[in-house]
Amino acid sequence: MLIIGARGTGKTTLLESAISDLTEEHKGEFLTVRLNGFFQTDDKIALREIWRQLGVEMELDEKDQPKTTNFADTLSSILAILSHPDELRAPDEEGAEPAEEDPSSTTTTLSVIFILEEFDLFATHPRQTLLYNLFDIAQSRKAPIAVIGTTTRIDVVESLEKRVKSRFSHRTVHLKNPPTLKGFWEICKEGLSVDMDEVDSEINGSSDEDRRCFESWNSHLENLYKNDKQFQRHLRRIYAQNKDPKSFFNSCILPLSSSTTSFPTGPSFSLPTNQLGEPDSILSILDGLTDLELTLLIAAARLDIISDTDTCNFQMAYSEYTALTSSLKVASSATGVTAGRLWSKEVALGAWERLAEYELLVPAVIGGGSGGGVSREGRMWRVEVGLAEIGKCLEMGRAGIGRAGLGKWCKEV
């Protein structure tokens, strides 16, 4: 089964809630193996993680651990644990009568739930070996397993190989962002409010004072949503930007940490001054760039206009950077102002690659253009910010103090 939805729609929350309910009803009858496409970047790493988690859950001895790193052998060892007892039993010799089973010795294998977070990343692994084997085991009922994936890509099924797709059940659950601001607030309020039923069940003998405090806090949240204009603007801004409850909860960390036992009647929930939320745009990174990195970024953005192309490489950007610095030296010699330093190509290449790490530069082709023997200097990149945007940030002082002079390079093209 696949759970598909944008980030923040509650895919993991839905899954964990279902697992929690199953644990209460069938405790000790199944195991859960959790994999993430960001961490298990290839099938061998994923297979070792499966074995590790199963070994911990089933308390296996080290002697039972596979001694080889071969993919097929390790998978066979895992199948030996997961398979039904009938499959593990050796076939009877020809002509021999089947031995009678002892009911007291019959064992039942545990069911295993495989949770694949970022399922689309597992589909990028070579030959999709892990997905093929998991789906094949589930379809042929070689072992009692269930495979559940979560992803943000709607077209993830199209990226599966034919042999993998044929073994997929094609059962999907689609989750959407809340369509209204009120629906978004209901989700956020659920994370902040205190459930009085849970308080009564988890905190035995809670005092009347505690109950009044919790009830007052819940009333305070409702009052913020209905009457606090500042809080309403903050909530509308997050809803308009990404509709992600995580962003809202991150912005609540500082107000909640500064609250006291009298928080329901305490200071206002001053959220817009919070600095823990993600920046509004990638332009906020400019303030942390070195002069060399910022100059190279300006040079690359200028090439978009000068060369009438949306891609460039380091050689092109460094040539433009050299021309800009040289022109600055000529101008400074006439005015007596010290010009900026012209850095060597090796140092500039390091700064250029850091811009790529900051995602101010993105590969022009899949894989970063590293294929076909292309050198580091020759790889093609696309600039994620425009020259006018950089110039505006410099003019407003949002790219650091003392850099307003670089703004003329954003205007004089």
CATH number of residue 380's parent domain: 1.10.10.10
Measured in residues, the chain has a length of 413
* DSSP-derived 3-state class of residue 150: strand
37 falls within a domain: yes
191 falls within a domain: yes
Q: What is the pLDDT of residue 352?
A: 93
115 shares a domain with 210? no
Per-residue pLDDT of the chain (413 residues), as tens digits, is: 999 998 888 899 899 999 999 998 888 888 899 999 999 988 888 888 888 888 765 555 555 555 555 565 666 666 666 555 444 444 444 444 444 444 444 444 678 899 999 999 999 988 888 898 888 888 877 778 899 999 999 989 999 999 999 989 889 999 988 889 999 999 999 888 888 777 766 666 557 777 788 888 888 888 888 988 888 888 998 898 888 888 888 888 877 777 766 555 444 555 444 455 556 677 778 878 888 898 999 999 999 888 888 889 999 999 999 988 887 765 555 444 444 678 899 999 999 999 988 888 988 764 444 445 678 888 889 998 888 888 888 877 655 555 656 777 888 77
98 falls within a domain: no
267 falls within a domain: no
252 shares a domain with 156? no
The Cα 23–Cα 17 span in angstroms is: 10
158 shares a domain with 19? yes
Residue environment code for 280-307, b if the CB has 16+ CB neighbours within 10 A, otherwise e: eeebebbeebeebbbbbbbbbbbbbeee
169 shares a domain with 27? yes
The Cα 349–Cα 357 span in angstroms is: 13
- Among 214, 242, 258, identify where a domain stops: 258
252 shares a domain with 329? no
94 falls within a domain: no
The Cα 176–Cα 116 span in angstroms is: 20
Q: What angle do CA 58, 60, 64 make, to 5 degrees?
A: 140
154 shares a domain with 249? no
CATH number of the domain bearing residue 118:
3.40.50.300
Which token pair is 136?
């094949």
The Cα 369–Cα 381 span in angstroms is: 8
Q: Which residues pair with 381 in a beta bridge?
A: 312, 363
DSSP 9-50: SSHHHHHHHHHHHHHHHSTTSEEEEEEETTT--SHHHHHHHH
Token pair 């990149």 is found at: 381
The number of helices, as runs of H, and strands, as runs of E, in the chain is: 18, 7
290 shares a domain with 374? yes
The Cα 312–Cα 102 span in angstroms is: 74
Q: Answer for the pair 122, 46: CB distance below 8 angstroms, yes or no.
A: yes
270 falls within a domain: no
Number of domains observed in the structure of the chain: 3
- Among 174, 201, 226, identify where a domain stops: 174
Q: What is the pLDDT of residue 212?
A: 81
- Among 174, 198, 228, identify where a domain stops: 174
CA dihedral 228, 232, 235, 237 (to 10 degrees): -140
204 shares a domain with 342? no
313 shares a domain with 384? yes
Strand duo 30-36 + 172-175: pairing: unpaired
302 shares a domain with 250? no
Which token pair is 121?
């990343």
Q: Which range of residues forms the domain containing residue 381? A: 282-410
The Cα 38–Cα 7 span in angstroms is: 15
> How far is C-alpha 47 from the chain's CA centre?
21
Q: What is the pLDDT of residue 216?
A: 84
187 shares a domain with 154? no
120 falls within a domain: yes
Q: What is the pLDDT of residue 369?
A: 43
404 falls within a domain: yes
- Measured from the Cβ of residue 383, the count of other Cβ atoms closer than 10 Å reads 23
Q: Answer for the pair 19, 32: CB distance below 8 angstroms, yes or no.
A: yes
- Measured from the Cβ of residue 333, the count of other Cβ atoms closer than 10 Å reads 10
* DSSP-derived 3-state class of residue 392: helix
- Among 351, 321, 327, 323, CA closest to 339: 327
Q: What is the pLDDT of residue 218?
A: 86
Q: Which residues pair with 383 in a beta bridge?
A: 361
Q: What is the pLDDT of residue 19?
A: 93
Q: Answer for the pair 182, 239: CB distance below 8 angstroms, yes or no.
A: no
248 shares a domain with 138? no
